[in-house]
Amino acid sequence: MRVLLACLLLLLGLPSLADEHSQLYQAAGWPEQRAHFISALEAAQQRYRSSLPPAVYQALVDNSNKRFAPQAVDQRAQAKLRAQLADPAPALAFFRSPLGRKVVAAEVKATSREELLKNANGLPRMQAEATRRLLIRHLAQALPAREAGAEVSLALAGVAADSLSQMLPGLLGGGQAALGMLESQRQRLMEQIGEDLDNTLLYVYRELSDPELEEFVEFAQSAAGQAYYQAALAAVRAGLAVGQSSEQLAPATPSI
């Protein structure tokens, strides 16, 4: 009987253990960030409605809706996170902590429609003491913020490229030439984002105290933090299907 009970308890515990990646996905704010991205995408679509020929505009909308369907984005991102992050427990513990929740809240707020509209003409120049600026510099070096920002821009550009390729096959070439162009764009975007990254992070994490910021830096620089953020960058790229054409995207699997 004891053996049977032990086996039952073990089986009951397995789903929660296997689901730590999903819990991390939720705790780190991925669904909210994805929703904010979709909101910004819809606003961009509306801006283009009056400036593009109807056929081009419809192709752009259809391609973006296919590429960035919420369920498909979540499935691709979570699958990559599972594949890249062997042990999600340390990151999950951090993002469930009071400081982790505060970090996520700051990041989610920064990408909200209200914040994007408020800062449409650029972020304010942040003032900070030398100690805080040094912490932010360390954070900028630990977080893949430049890389993630570049992937978002590349994903949006990929929708336009898909639409043009469908209407004018062969216009953008393919194979190694396309990959070379993608990498060149990625490097250029990272350089542009890096020029003002410290001020951006000062703004995003402005409500964190210096001790909180220092603790955040310690997590981001740790082996567990680096493992999470490198896996997160790969998940962003996979979720947004950077470098993939619409024809290469598999349809989302219905949730059970």
Distance of alpha carbon 152 from alpha carbon 236, whole angstroms: 8
pLDDT at 182: 66
Average pLDDT of the residues in 81-90: 97
Distance of alpha carbon 221 from alpha carbon 142, whole angstroms: 6
List, for residues 207-230, the tens digit of each pLDDT value. Answer: 999 999 999 999 999 999 999 999
pLDDT at 14: 40
Question: pLDDT exceeding 70 applies to what percent of the chain?
Answer: 79
pLDDT value at 135 more than 50: yes
pLDDT at 162: 60
To the nearest 10°, the Cα dihedral for 226, 250, 36, 40?
120
pLDDT at 64: 84
pLDDT value at 143 more than 50: yes
List, for residues 228-240, the tens digit of each pLDDT value. Answer: 999 999 999 999 9
How far lies 183's CA from each of 125, 127, 165, 169, 204, in Å? Answer: 31, 34, 19, 22, 28
Average pLDDT of the residues in 51-69: 83
Structure tokens at 211: 């001790």
pLDDT at 95: 98
List, for residues 157-192, the tens digit of each pLDDT value. Answer: 767 656 555 544 444 454 444 445 667 788 888 999
Q: Which of residues 231 and 253 earns the better pLDDT score?
A: 231
